[in-house]
Copies of this chain bind each other. A is one copy, B any other.
């Protein structure tokens, strides 16, 4: 069994209202010096069997279409050892 982690984040130029709200809240609870927060999503996939080249390519394809919207988001795919 393999574990694949897909991180999806809003592109830097896209507004992240949640992140902005969190910056405000961090100030209120006394954490100083936080200039920016971005909130992303993390998908942890449990996959039966091995993740070979072909499978990884397929996962990358799915990350680009299903798990993220390339118009506003970037993603990374990592196979966890």
Contact = CB atoms under 8 A, between A and B. Distances in A.
User: What is the count of identical protomers in the complex?
Assistant: 2
A7 interface: yes
A44 interface: yes
Given A39-B41, A41-B41, A46-B36, A62 B26 contact: yes
A80 B19 CA distance: 18
A49 interface: yes
A29 interface: yes
Given A22-B66, A31-B62, A37-B43, 11 more contacts: A9-B42, A9-B44, A22-B43, A22-B67, A25-B66, A26-B66, A29-B66, A31-B58, A38-B43, A40-B41, A42-B42
6 contacts: A26-B66, A29-B65, A33-B48, A39-B44, A40-B42, A41-B42
